[in-house]
Amino acid sequence: MKTAVIGAGAWGTTLASLLASKGNDVVIWALEKELVDSINNHHENSLYLKDIPLSENLTATNDFSIAVDGTDLLLFAVPSQWMRSTCRLFAQSVSTTTPVITVTKGLEISTGTRMSEIIKEELPDITNIAALSGPNLAPEIALGKPAATVIASADVNFAIQLQEHFQTAYFRPYTSNDIIGLEICGAVKNVIAIAAGICEGLGFGDNTKAALLTRAATEICRLVKRMGGRPETVYGLSGIGDIMATCSSPMSRNHRVGLTVGKGDSYLTALGNSGQVAEGVPTTEAVVKLARNIDVVMPICEEVYAMLFENKPAPESFKTLMSRNRGKEYEWTN
């Protein structure tokens, strides 16, 4: 199966190399010529996966017509706020029969739209669309460390087909037909990873972090349910699994952003000149805007927004969360 991977960040490159290592014909599209040369000549992503060898079968190009020519699967791995413009760039070159999978985790700021929805809007003739999400820190998978993920599609048979395509000895995909729940989980957990990093930056303990993450899962459930997804998705790999990985790992850019903010610096300090995107930053804005518009209560996300965009001191945000009007805050009720 020929696969075109659009986006040569750490995650897109990791999946491209994984598929190429199985003997698939894989080409990855990147904007940067030096990155294309690095992959083609040295089998390394010198910008985003430095010193990690890639499959020698993987090729790269910065010509989008070459990337999608004759492809059997189109994989989008671009930052969430660039998804719409990227789809438009490729719209005239993609066959209407080409299936598409997105591995981008985020929501569009202006609309609150999920990535698979953007693809459908900009490539309306595409019929098979899926999304992949889970506890998937790219460097670990690039090094062949065992991991699992979830592939979701409204057409579960398409998800099963992709499951076979991505399965390796160290990467195990599961399937779901709840693409709404999977994409909401994948987006909001990046916001929660920032909150977890802030918690650590403030020097709080494990009790604080456990309470934060558990209540965050409740917030995600509210949004998933309101958007038409299934709350039980939150308690699987694409929900709790992804939260556990992203909210605790130093490899997580969103966690690093939070750690920096918790220590009193701007989130921009954490990103520095790396050129990498912390999806949780724009997604915080998108999630809070969406939740307000549809009346979903998400106090943790609201406070992350206040810290990032309104310069609210982190200690004040945690004080706000701890002193909220309790109302009827049941741990569990029917």
Taking only the tens place, the pLDDT of each residue in 93-110 is 888 889 999 999 999 999
Residue 328 or 58, more confident: 58
Task: State how far the Cα of 30 lies from the Cα of 181, in Å rounded to an integer.
Answer: 29
> Residue 102: in which H helix or E strand, if any?
strand 100-102
Residue 268 near residue 262, CB atoms below 8 Å = no
Task: State how far the Cα of 20 lies from the Cα of 59, in Å rounded to an integer.
Answer: 9
Domain 3-177 and domain 180-322, same fold? Reply is no
Segment 113-142 shows an average pLDDT of: 97
CATH number for the domain running over 3-177:
3.40.50.720
**Segment 276-323, tens digit of pLDDT:** 678 999 999 999 999 999 999 999 999 999 999 999 999 999 999 999
Place of tokens 């990147």: 30
CATH number for the domain running over 180-322:
1.10.1040.10
Q: Evaluate if residue 334 carries a pLDDT over 60.
A: no
Task: State how far the Cα of 183 lies from the Cα of 176, in Å rounded to an integer.
Answer: 12
Segment 148-161 shows an average pLDDT of: 97
Residue-level pLDDT at 156: 94
Segment 254-259 shows an average pLDDT of: 94
Domain locations along the chain:
3-177, 180-322
Residue-level pLDDT at 267: 81
The predicted model scores a pTM of 0.94
Q: Evaluate if residue 65 carries a pLDDT over 80.
A: yes
Catalytically annotated residues: 189
Q: What are phi and psi of 325, to 5 degrees?
A: -60, 120
